[in-house]
Every structure is written in structure tokens, then in C-alpha cells.
Structure 1
């Protein structure tokens, strides 16, 4: 049974320790020189919190940290720390905790959910773990404490942490960003105390087999019992299943015998417990397919008593939430993996998530991340080695966001030829720890035991043995790449990129490796620069585009500057070279370019279903203030790529195919659609209307697409603007606006230098977009205001006789502080002449920082419309 999470840790470098190790965990040890520690978090996180260093996220400050790996421009985790780094020596964490004297007769254990990388652990002057038994960032450690605890005074826990080496299976941020000099050393997941009586229960979870025709489900409960006593015991395992939606309950009981000093896996199904066949279950569905219904399972171990009137002694208890859902997958005719949830095929659309660079955890940030995934119309998130907090997973369960997780690429995790015997052991134990931690979550739908490559035969065989022993009921894939594994063959996915800018038509081009086909596990066109309001929070206003401190906030290796992005922006708007020297104009232009191609990326996958079965955008967010690979920035402000992705992922909308110049209706809703109306308008580069047409669409099946208009003869390679409207009777369902370039984009020949994208030799321009001197009329109404939310309706109107294009909606406080996070149903708005449009916005007050929240509540807000012009 959970008792409590240990908080109020302290930290110090071993260089400051002047006593023997065991004395650090003595009650009378003086820790006044120690600083409060951030747990979960890295050593650097604690030092920054205590103002020992300036904010490493601002400008070039990270380079000033002692021990920073200067001059390195590739994966930091692959380089040794400098000789004089203060993080080559160990660091100590110390915790003082008390126990309830009424629990004196209980058995206690301590659970470390994440230590990076090695540790010696002392409790009350006794060592309970050494680096031999405590090594590995992703292992979950449990240690018995019974003989070494006090109930009449405080207990002292001391943990000596040793940083990972390049040949350790540590935590890596790959080429996403530079890394602080501690190499993420620290206690990076919570530390918890638990207690039980003789026999402990753990790792419970529920498998489901769903029969939609019979409207029933067979449940299988798997749990582990561990008898710590010297005697064989016969106990009652009692279960209570509660439907969290209806409150309906099911009870069952099973008598179990477990030998002394042994561990036993218990598996109960409807053949053993008839109550585990559930009639009319409330199924767990992914977001947009149905409700993410949850049940709770309460498992109790009770001692059997011959005295019927005597209350039963509860030996241990575990309570988990679960969903009744079944995950299957199959390969389509081109070898692409299609996922099925409860028997229904689903196209997976999402992005890759990362943790904070200093591994700090925040429930508020987890909520923002999940809210943004839903706002983006995504149904899945990928975790590559960043396996998130338990609360993040709980939110995914509650909100129906699917999760694909697995090991990272590029560091020692994939250098199998250099693995020592100890590495294989740690890899297996890490896999077991994480799979038993994660398997209970209905959101968990796939595990990659490799990343960029499948492991070799020896490692794969060992991994599969562990995975089989974990009794998973989800697809297990050898890697995220289209590479064949010895034992399991091809995984049915690809990771062909690109990772930098490609134009909108790329995703439709059958000659391109990253085209919308198969399941692309990581891909994106970048151009993901933050808006100026965020940029000014982490770079001085004097920092120029492409300067040293600017490029520090990009990635590593091939991604260590924005030179290619700068080239694209300047060529796309070639008539405004001098204006684009201004950082604000450069940023503004980048938002439009990003919007176009990120929208096209997701739309092409919708059109090409079922050949295109899934797409993971690279990436959702950033570990620190970044200029690349993000749909919203470190300060939770969405960018142009965000709103393009959001538009491109709508389940029911009209799409312009850049390759064949046809207009498609796509329907990825869970039901057939009938009696729809489509409107198509085309404006030339002077914004004069030269074509319009209306189409009646009687029906479209679910998970289907329909080409109904060919604009090839209308457009004829001309620049211009396409407006698409989808209506049900006269009610607007969706609207889409496309900007076509003057001149074609022409690719450079294939090159090993540009392995990460197909660069352009010639770039078509959008100069004609920067011409409107007119403005929109804007009004907004405060629809609803509660302690939790502010809801707005923003009414936009174009009273001019020409379209006004790509207008950004931005919300500010009265003192001009940008409001973020912000949940808009649309942004970057284009309106035809005399057109009106309603935009809805939600501000979740508990997600704002306290200063911003206070100002907003006391002073109010204002809505600004930022025109697409260069001034």
C-alpha cells in the first residue's frame, strides 16, 4: 500500500563532504550547508533553483556552466565530461522522514522510480544498496527497509548519485539541443514509501478481449504476489471492479496459496472468475472515436480467518484504473502497419513529446501538453526515451490520447557492438521495469524495443524474452524504422524524415521518401520558430538571426543552425530582402511558410489512407527555449506550424492536393456523412476573383476520401489564393485557404550532405501576399468566466472589397503580456471580401503562471489582430 512520496530533499557535492559516507545518514549529521533539491529533477535543476547559476535557458548562459562540453556539436551524451567538471564527482541527496508509530508492525519498502545513473544508498547509517545493484537510469528499484527503520524518531536517507558515462545506458536528448554539464544526473522520478503485511501485491493490470457483435468483453487480471515471510500462506485475493462512469460494481474472490520467500504471478480470466466476462461494457476509445471510459480495480489480499466474526487482516492492497479496450495491428498491402482499437481501424496522427531539459516534472505542464494534443486534433503521442511522469500517463488515459513509447536512438542504447554483459543486464531490467510500470495504461498501444535500428539477434532475443514475461497485449515493434529484425521481421513503419524544410507538395510526391505513405514515426518540415513574444524571453533583442547565441538554441550536428530556413524565407519573399533583415519580419514570414507545409503533411496522410496509416510529427514541444522542431514553444505559445497541423488534422474537411491540383473531401469521423455542400473560390495574385463553383456531395463513408473538383485547368501554374468551404446546409463545417507560389519549387539533386531533407534549388515566391493595407474589424465577447476558465468569442469581419490574408489573433493583458497557453479553435485567418468569421478561445486560468493570472483577473485582456505585412 502506498504510504507517501518523499519530499524536501537536500543536495550537496561530494567535494564538500568531510565525513565517512555512513555518517551522512546519521540523525545528528549537520546538513546546514546543503541546498534544497529539486526532486524529480537533475543536479543542475537544483543548483539553478538555488541561484547558484544564472538561468541556463537564457541566451548563451548554458555555455557558462562549469563543465559545459564546449566545442561539441554532436550528441552530448556521447562525449566525456571535461577533466575539471564538478559533475565528474558524485553528488549526495539527503532526506529526513518520519513514520506513523501505528504502522510499526508493517513491512516497509522504498521505491526509487528513476535514478540517473548509479547510486549508493544509505538509511540510518546502514548501506541498503550499492552501485552494483543500483545502476541504470530507467530501472525502478525497490528495497526492503524493515530492519533499519525508526518509528519514534526521524529516519535519514542518503543517496550518492554518480553521473552516466558515454558507455552507459543513460538519458539522452540526442541531437535535439545542447545539454547541461551534469549529463542529466540526479533523482529524476519520484521516491515513494510503501507498506504491507507479509505478502505484497504489485504490477496489477487488466487485459481485454472485446467482442463488438456480442457487446461483451473478457477481462484477464494479471498481478504479482511476493511472500516475504518464512511460511507458506493461503490468502484470499478479493477484487472490486467499479465502472467510473456509472458506479456499477463487480466483486469476486479467489483463494491463492503462495510458498514462503517466493514470488508468484497470478492470472485470472473468465474461465476462472465468471464475473470477468463483462456484458454491455463501456469501452475505452481514443480521442475523437468515442469516450475514454475508465474502470477501477481494487485488489485486496486478506488473511483467511477461521473465526467468521473476526475482521479480515488486509495484507496488502493495490488500486489501479483501467480501460476495456483491445489493441491489434496488421500490415496493409504495402507492408504498412494499421492499428485497430476495439476492432476499428484508426489512422494515427500526432507528434513526439519531450521532457524538460532538467527533467523537472509539472502537473500543470502535463495538462497543457495533453490539452494541446487535443486542440491539435491529434490522437497519439510518441515518447522516444522520454517516458514521462505517471500523471502524464493518467491524463492520456482520461483524455483518450494514445501513446507509443520506446527506447532512444543514437547513444549507447544503440551501440550494441560495444555493450558489456552488464549493459545487456541493465537493458533487460530497464525494459521490465518500464513495461510493468506502463502496461496498465489503456493509452499504451505500442512499444519500440529499438529506435533507429532493430537490435541484433542476441539482444533482440533477450528483449523478447523479457517482453513475453511481461504479458503485454499490445503490438511490439523492433524499431521505428523500415528495417528488418532477425526474429520479428519488418515492423511496418518508417522513419524516412524529412527533418527540415520541404514545400507543401513534397508530401504528395511519390518520388520522395517521406511522402504520405506507410506509417512515418518521425517526420516534419521544421520552420518551427517561436513568435517574437517568446523569442524575447530567452534571447536579447540585440541577438541577430543566425548569430552564435541564436544558433545555440537550435539542434546539434546537421541541425546546429537555421541557415537553410533563413534561405527559404528570403527566397519565398524575395522582393522583401531588406525588410526580412528585421527579426520580427523574418519570424512572421516563417509562420506562414510553416503553416502551409505542416498542414499539407497531415492532409496528405488523410488523403492517402489506408496506404498512409500513421504520422508522428517531429516534434510536439521542446525541452528548452528552442528555434526548431516544436508546434508550441517552451513558453506554451503555439506557432504557425501548430495551426497548420491543427487544420490539416481535422477529421472532416476539404483538402487541396498540391500534386494533382484536385480538391478532396476527407472524412475520418467514425460515421458516414451525408448532404454536404462544397464551395471553391480562386483569386489571382492581384486578389481578383477569377473562379468559383459549388458542389453537392450526397454522401461519404467513414475513413474515406473523395476527389470532386479538378482545378488544374483553372490554376495553370498561376499564383493565387484558394478558398475552400465545407457546409452542412448553410452551417460552416470547415474552411481552408491555400497560397500558391509564383514559379515552381525545384529540388536539388539527391545529396548525402542533405540526408535529412530534399533542399530546394529554386523557390517559388509569395511576394503578392504582402500587399494588403486594409485591416479587419474585430470585436470580442466574454462568453463565460469561472474560477477555472475564461471563454471568448472573437468576431472578425472584412469590410473591404478584396481578401485580407493570414491575420494572426493574439491575446494580451492590458500591460501587453502575451497570454499562453491559449486554446483557439482557429488562427491565422483569411477572409474574402465582406466575409465574417467567428473564432472561439478558451483560457484555462490554472495553467497560467500566477503573475499573468493575477493581472488578467484584475485588469482584463485585449485582442490584437496582427496583419501579414512587413513593417
Structure 2
């Protein structure tokens, strides 16, 4: 099933734009090597016939091309992936392909023309107009490559490019281990493609021209790899006048011509222009440092939840001695400084931005799409979801890749700090004894085979993404250090020289990040947990992986699961295991154990999905509340394993592969809010967390309990205050609460009100009866909710739910935006809140953001005890 985006979002401009740059992203043709007997010098001749060649997807992989040509079924649907030959069994030649593209271009006098590849997996030879461009193999997934093709362009302007792409070698045996038999890690490539505990193997190992191909035209001098450093001394506030900040800029200048070149290198930022005169030797590349800029009263960039994400447009250009502009680079600069220091109380690193400590609430990110089908729109949507979860950091897991500039642009926009791993994992690289692995630990400890290629690739990727304000930390590898020579070079020479502004962690759960002194208590816990465990179980003080479940509702299951496989998992208390259908198992379902049963045994898969959302919400709200309750005492941060899936998996996700959010997202949205009132189930204490830099005063705390009929009892209300970046307990309510919930359970309503009696934090818990069963929820009377909608602006609608007085709580309402013809959900759509409950006699308003469609969508509302209603906007 192919996902269709209905999204047009404002994105930040691309990282760098030369004087003339365009993509070669259409009109490609391809053929497997077995069907082509001619050499690249022949194939790249414009006169060579391409009759019988097939359309190709570039950027893309062999498998995405095969899917587009309907030669394979959608590997993300059902058991289809098992129908596609795996490269390990069928041989590398099966997925070795020629890719050919014709384009019109010629160089005028004084012009230089460049052919740029941003990523090819894994090795290739490149030919243009009958000539081979690379004199040695171009190898490595994470290595950009640029060719000056000025002298090779056809005089009439019609050119043919031919690229043969070979898969990784070895490709790894997909034997069910983490990264299969581990040998995929001998390459400088991603590891998950041989399979993991959250994904099935990618059959072609993502062989192909997987990232952008561009043509760039410049004058005699090209501007490359600009480097911008911002220094923000002191402790800053997000608002008000600012003391000065310093901006330092450098760039590489390449002169490919046979004569020396003289000119000026200039950058412009916020109305300031700084210039340096430069003379470049023939056929040379030189790094030039420009004068530093003191920026007065700067507008600073802050992480999500703490302030605005301001960025300054910057232009860097080289102007020749005759005044002609030779090349221009444009980028966006976020003025901020990242600092770290050691918290002696928690014994872990503490992150500060612009001098202010930030409690890290993060999510582990694998990759946007397991088959590398990337787009700025999808990146924007996924990162926006993380912003909506009230997270402030995303960690890029080491078994995948260094993320693309478009991902970082979205993180810059939405205020998500990024911890970027390099390419290694303890599973493949030898941390543990593993009978699934082909090589022993001593051998695996030295993966990859080519250390020089790893370091060259790392240097290149650092240059590609280092200017993004969101990039906060580098990490050597996932749960293991890189080989000693690689790590030493990265830590002691490459990163100081090419960056020098960010914290480098040697591996993801290193003692340098988090002093892991707790014996059996480590990272995790993983999987379903009693909610109180997140509050009372002490894990590592900067926990890089802790997570739970993530099954979507029935509409999510329908998108990738055949009807006959939508079978409810059956959990056995005796065996403590669930019996699941083969498709659920293939898509890596992990059990909800006994967490569903207290809501009533599910009657079918639809009912299971509905009840799973209650568990999802409760799990992730409790996870973040529990860690936040111990901030600066036990913890300086936590990173959820994991927040998204790059295919149709059934675990660890806040939204599904098709970008449909589930209740996990909104449980986190609630539990992670910057100013948050919450209930500690361990000591029955009402607490407030303030994850802002502002002293919060004159807040009225209102604590009520509602029974299943909707009758309320006020336990207490009291004015309170709390200082910045603090958490504190206020009111114990355990004895009274237990008595009110004993028979049928109850709802606990917590609110913080401002002096205008407006809510600034709301939280509603549903509590079981004395037996641990939600007997009252199972017997709740219906609540008829009134729905009012109005269009605020194009692509934005306001929905107000009203629950009349005398009703029970209108509990756990899912809002959806529907296509008026198909009645299916539009995706992606962004909700200011969801799975909302409305107390008797009250209203709840939700803002829905979506891409406008030709026909006005419908709004659907369905709750636990609220019958589904579908209304037109404005009705």
C-alpha cells in the first residue's frame, strides 16, 4: 500500500543553494546488470539505444524502482515481504543495476559545471558521454561525491549519464538476529537492512542512488562546505534584550582552473556584511576564515518549549576581481550555544542551551522510511509530531544513517535538539556473545573492514549537517564504542577541527553520559509496564532507551493487514504469553500482556485497538511524568525507545507508518507539557513540574474526583507557585481518593488555573476499582456530545465539544478528519490535542491543521462512551 501525502507545509530553505543548482530527479531509466552486456563507456554514449529499459526511481533504491514498476508487491503489506527474493539467497547481481539519465546542459565561457551525488549505496562507477568519471571505486553509503564535468559536456548540450550501482558486500545473512548475522556491519552502511527486532529484512539492502543528484553551475571558484559557529556567552532568557553574540564563518573555496583566481569572499547576516580578499592557486581547495561578527541584541534559537526558534538567513558568496559573482551559498543560522556539564547529584551529563539547563525529553528515531523514500514534506510532518509530543530532543540511532539536511531543517524549525549517532551498534559490532552472528566478538569489534572509508565518510557528513542549530550532540555508536583508532580520530582530531562546538559521547549509554552504577537497573524498561513502575523504578540517570508498546487502532491495522489476519491477540495468564496471528507476529508485535483485560476482554480486533489506545495513553503519560518527577534528583534526561517506525511495525510508535497518530502521541503530549500538574501513583501526591525558565506564580490548583455518573467531589483547591526548571510535590490525596474509587473506579481531575480562571494545565486520570478492574468504565452510560465546527482559515478548523450538565464524563474522544467521499482519515493531520475527555457541563476545543483539499473534509468524533458522529465543517 503506497502512502499518498496530502501536505504542503512551509519548510526552511535548503541548506545551500549554489548560483545555479537543479536536481536530476526524473526521467531516469534502468536495467539489471544481467540484461546489459555493454560497458559504461558505450551505454553513456547518447547514441546508445535504451529500447526496453524501464523507468527508474532516483533518488531511490532498486526495490523502490521494482515496486513502482509493479514487479514486486508492497513489502510493507501483510506477508508480501516474504515473496521478494532476498539478496543473500539470490545473489548480489540480482540487485545490481544500471541507471541512466539524459539531461541538457553546456558550459558557457567562464563557467564550471559540477555533477553532485549526495548518497549512493554501496559502490558505483560513473560515466558521462562515453567517459568514466571516477578513477577509483566510489564506495560507501555515507559519502558525497562531486565531479567537475565542464570539459565532458557535449557541445550541443545533450548529455547522457550512466551509473552502475553495486550492493554492499557482504550483504549479511538475514537469519533473524539483530542485523542478521552481523556481517552487514563490515561495510560503511546501515545495519537494520538485514533485519532487527522491529523490522524484517530489506531485500535489496537499499541498493541504489538513494539520495539527491544535482547539477551545479558556478564561475571559476566554487564555495563549498561553509561553517558557521555561534557563541552565546552567559545565562540568557528567551525574551527581552540580549547581550551580544559572536558569529564566526569559514568556507572552502575550490579553484579547478589552470590559473590563479583573485576575488572577495563575503557573507551577509542581519544587515551586516563582512568581506575578505582571497587569492587562490590553480587547481586548489583552500579553507578561508572570515572576520567574526558581533551581533548586538540577537534573536536566539531555543529548544521546543523554552522559547522561539529564530533563524537568520545568511548569504555567502565569492565575487571575482571583475565583480562577477562566481558562486553563492545560502543557509539559515540559529544563534545558540550548547553546553554540557556534570550533574553531581544524578551523576550524569546535564545539557544547557544559551546557559540555561534543559531537562531532556527525547525520542529515538530510526529513519523516516526503511526503503529511503524521503521527502521534505514527510520529514516536516514527522518532526512536527515530535514537537506536538512536547519533546525537545531526537536521537538518531546508530544502526541507521546520518540524517539528511531536510530532516535537520525541520528540527531547526520545530526546536528539536538532535543527538546524531555514527554508524555502529553493539548488536553487530561485538558487544555481546551472540550465536546468531557469523564472526566472533574479537572480529566484530573491528568492524567495519575499511576504517579509512569510515573516517572519510564521517568527515564528509559532519560538514554536511554541522551548521544546523538543532544538531546538539555527536555519539560514537549505539551501545558500543567504535574501534579505537576510529574513535580516537573522531574525538581528538576530526570533530575538533570540523566542528569543535558540540559534545561527543563515545557511545549511547556511556559512563560519560550517565554513570550507570545501578547494577541490574539499566536502560529500559522496555515493553508494557505497570504505570507506577515509571515513577518508582530508578534507571540510568540519563536514560538513552526506555519504551513501551504502540499498536494503532483498527483503521491503522486495515492499512497493512489483510482482513483475515485482523485477529485479536489472546493473552494467557498461565503462560504469560499472547497467541497472535502470523501477520501480527511478522510485523513485530509485542504483547500488552494483562493490560487490556481490566477494560474487559476484547471482542474483536476493533475493540482490541480501541482499548489498546487507553493503555497507550496511560503508558506514555506515566513514562514521562515518572521521569520528570525525579528531574535533577535521579535524572537529567530520558529518551524513549522509540517514537516512530519506518515501516508497518506494531511496537514503539506514536504514529503509524502512514502518519496516523495513536493515543501514545497524546499521552506524551499531556505528560510532557512544559508546565504540568500530575498525580504520583506511588505516594498519592499531586505534583507540579515546571520545565520553563519562568517563575510561575498565582496558580490555583483544583483537585476533583468524578464518579461514573458524572457527580464531582472537590478534594481541595489552593494557590501555588513554582520556580523555573523545578518539580515539587504539593498535596497528598491517597486516602480520600482510594475511598472514592473503591467500588467502580473514578476520574481524578487536576487543574492549574490562572488568575482569570483559565486552565494552564489539565490532567484527567481514570482509576480502577479496588480489584484493579475498570468496572465503572465497562458500565458507563452514554454521553451525547454536541459538536460545533468552524473554519478559522484555509486548512485550519476549530472543533468544540460540549458535554451537557448532568451527563457522565464524555470520555476519551478521538477526533479525525475524513475524506468526504471515502470516509477515510486524511493524513497527515495535526491536532492541538486528541483522545480528549469533556467533563459534565464543560467544553473542550481542539484546533485541527490540515492541507486543504478540493472537497471540504468531515470531522468525526468517537469516544469510549460517545457514539460516533460525523459533521461537516461549519455545521
TM-score (norm 1): 0.85
Q: Which residue of 2 aligns with 1:197?
A: 219
State whether residues 774 and 800 of structure 1, in contact with CA within 8 Å, keep that contact through their aligned partners in structure 2. no
**Alignment counterpart, residue 467 of structure 1, candidates 491, 495, 498:** 495
1:51 maps to 2:70: yes
State whether residues 276 and 291 of structure 2, in contact with CA within 8 Å, keep that contact through their aligned partners in structure 1. no
Residues in 1 aligned to 2:551 and 2:447: alpha-carbon distance in whole angstroms: 41
- Alignment deviations for residues 212-234 of structure 1 (CA, whole Å, 9 cap, x no partner): 57710111112112333444444
Q: Which residue of 2 aligns with 1:849?
A: none
**Alignment counterpart, residue 825 of structure 2, candidates 800, 818, 822:** 818
State whether residues 37 and 46 of structure 1, in contact with CA within 8 Å, keep that contact through their aligned partners in structure 2. yes
1:412 to 1:235, Cα distance in 2 relative to 1, 3 A: farther
Q: Which residue of 2 aligns with 1:5?
A: 23
**Alignment counterpart, residue 171 of structure 1, candidates 190, 213, 219:** 190
1:135 maps to 2:139: yes
Cα drift, residue 457 of structure 1: 2.6
Q: Which residue of 1 aligns with 2:129?
A: 124
Which piece of structure 1 moves more, 376-385 or 10-19? 376-385
- Alignment deviations for residues 786-816 of structure 1 (CA, whole Å, 9 cap, x no partner): 2xx1312222314435434323333334442
Q: Which residue of 2 aligns with 1:722?
A: 748
State whether residues 416 and 455 of structure 1, in contact with CA within 8 Å, keep that contact through their aligned partners in structure 2. no
State whether residues 772 and 869 of structure 1, in contact with CA within 8 Å, keep that contact through their aligned partners in structure 2. no
Residues in 2 aligned to 1:317 and 1:570: alpha-carbon distance in whole angstroms: 59
Q: Which residue of 1 aligns with 2:586?
A: 552
1:252 to 1:459, Cα distance in 2 relative to 1, 3 A: closer
Q: Which residue of 2 aligns with 1:286?
A: 303
Cα drift, residue 96 of structure 1: 0.9
1:658 maps to 2:713: no
Residues in 1 aligned to 2:790 and 2:90: alpha-carbon distance in whole angstroms: 58
1:301 to 1:829, Cα distance in 2 relative to 1, 3 A: closer
State whether residues 235 and 255 of structure 1, in contact with CA within 8 Å, keep that contact through their aligned partners in structure 2. yes
3-state SS of 2:81 partner: helix
Cα drift, residue 144 of structure 1: 2.4
1:63 to 1:17, Cα distance in 2 relative to 1, 3 A: same
**Alignment counterpart, residue 444 of structure 1, candidates 461, 467, 471:** 471
Cα drift, residue 118 of structure 1: 0.9
Q: Which residue of 1 aligns with 2:386?
A: 373
Residues in 1 aligned to 2:581 and 2:378: alpha-carbon distance in whole angstroms: 30
3-state SS of 1:115 partner: coil
Residues in 1 aligned to 2:497 and 2:522: alpha-carbon distance in whole angstroms: 29
1:433 maps to 2:460: yes
Aligned residues: 787
State whether residues 803 and 810 of structure 2, in contact with CA within 8 Å, keep that contact through their aligned partners in structure 1. no
Residues in 2 aligned to 1:170 and 1:364: alpha-carbon distance in whole angstroms: 25
Residues in 2 aligned to 1:439 and 1:82: alpha-carbon distance in whole angstroms: 36
1:491 to 1:261, Cα distance in 2 relative to 1, 3 A: farther
Q: Which residue of 1 aligns with 2:105?
A: 99
Residues in 2 aligned to 1:458 and 1:435: alpha-carbon distance in whole angstroms: 18
- Alignment deviations for residues 567-614 of structure 1 (CA, whole Å, 9 cap, x no partner): 3244434xx33xx14111111111101111100111223222224222
1:160 maps to 2:191: no
Which piece of structure 1 moves more, 809-818 or 434-443? 809-818
1:252 to 1:605, Cα distance in 2 relative to 1, 3 A: same
State whether residues 66 and 86 of structure 1, in contact with CA within 8 Å, keep that contact through their aligned partners in structure 2. no
Q: How does 1:32-431 map to 2 (within 5 A)?
A: 32-67=51-86, 81-85=87-91, 88-101=94-107, 103-129=108-134, 132-164=136-168, 165=170, 166=184, 167-173=186-192, 174-211=196-233, 215-241=243-269, 243=270, 249-270=271-292, 276-304=293-321, 311-333=322-344, 334-353=346-365, 354-384=367-397, 385-408=400-423, 409-410=425-426, 417-418=443-444, 419=446, 423-431=450-458
Residues in 2 aligned to 1:185 and 1:29: alpha-carbon distance in whole angstroms: 25
State whether residues 585 and 870 of structure 1, in contact with CA within 8 Å, keep that contact through their aligned partners in structure 2. no
Unaligned runs of 5+ in 2: 1-17, 171-183, 236-241, 431-440, 569-579, 869-875
3-state SS of 1:446 partner: strand
Which piece of structure 1 moves more, 585-594 or 686-695? 686-695
- Alignment deviations for residues 300-336 of structure 1 (CA, whole Å, 9 cap, x no partner): 22333xxxxxx41333332222121111111211222
1:491 to 1:142, Cα distance in 2 relative to 1, 3 A: farther
1:636 maps to 2:659: yes
Residues in 1 aligned to 2:49 and 2:863: alpha-carbon distance in whole angstroms: 58
Residues in 1 aligned to 2:214 and 2:727: alpha-carbon distance in whole angstroms: 51
3-state SS of 2:403 partner: coil
TM-score (norm 2): 0.85
1:302 to 1:818, Cα distance in 2 relative to 1, 3 A: closer
Residues in 1 aligned to 2:305 and 2:247: alpha-carbon distance in whole angstroms: 25
State whether residues 771 and 869 of structure 1, in contact with CA within 8 Å, keep that contact through their aligned partners in structure 2. no
Cα drift, residue 99 of structure 1: 0.9
Q: Which residue of 2 aligns with 1:752?
A: none
State whether residues 29 and 99 of structure 2, in contact with CA within 8 Å, keep that contact through their aligned partners in structure 1. yes
**Alignment counterpart, residue 600 of structure 1, candidates 622, 629, 642:** 622
Cα drift, residue 11 of structure 1: 1.9
1:416 to 1:727, Cα distance in 2 relative to 1, 3 A: farther
- Alignment deviations for residues 26-50 of structure 1 (CA, whole Å, 9 cap, x no partner): 1112223222222222111111112
State whether residues 116 and 171 of structure 1, in contact with CA within 8 Å, keep that contact through their aligned partners in structure 2. no
- Alignment deviations for residues 535-585 of structure 1 (CA, whole Å, 9 cap, x no partner): 11111222124111122112xxxxxx43x32x3244434xx33xx141111
Residues in 1 aligned to 2:517 and 2:156: alpha-carbon distance in whole angstroms: 57
**Alignment counterpart, residue 846 of structure 2, candidates 840, 845, 852:** 840
1:281 to 1:51, Cα distance in 2 relative to 1, 3 A: same
Residues in 2 aligned to 1:805 and 1:203: alpha-carbon distance in whole angstroms: 54
Cα drift, residue 681 of structure 1: 1.8
State whether residues 676 and 727 of structure 1, in contact with CA within 8 Å, keep that contact through their aligned partners in structure 2. yes
Cα drift, residue 86 of structure 1: 6.6
3-state SS of 2:555 partner: helix
3-state SS of 1:47 partner: helix
Cα drift, residue 410 of structure 1: 4.7
Residues in 1 aligned to 2:765 and 2:319: alpha-carbon distance in whole angstroms: 66
1:151 to 1:332, Cα distance in 2 relative to 1, 3 A: farther
State whether residues 407 and 413 of structure 1, in contact with CA within 8 Å, keep that contact through their aligned partners in structure 2. no
1:765 maps to 2:773: yes
Q: Which residue of 2 aligns with 1:774?
A: 782
State whether residues 482 and 495 of structure 1, in contact with CA within 8 Å, keep that contact through their aligned partners in structure 2. no
Cα drift, residue 713 of structure 1: 2.4
Cα drift, residue 819 of structure 1: 3.0
State whether residues 106 and 157 of structure 2, in contact with CA within 8 Å, keep that contact through their aligned partners in structure 1. no
3-state SS of 2:594 partner: helix
Residues in 1 aligned to 2:510 and 2:40: alpha-carbon distance in whole angstroms: 50
1:676 to 1:232, Cα distance in 2 relative to 1, 3 A: same
1:792 maps to 2:798: yes
1:445 to 1:60, Cα distance in 2 relative to 1, 3 A: same
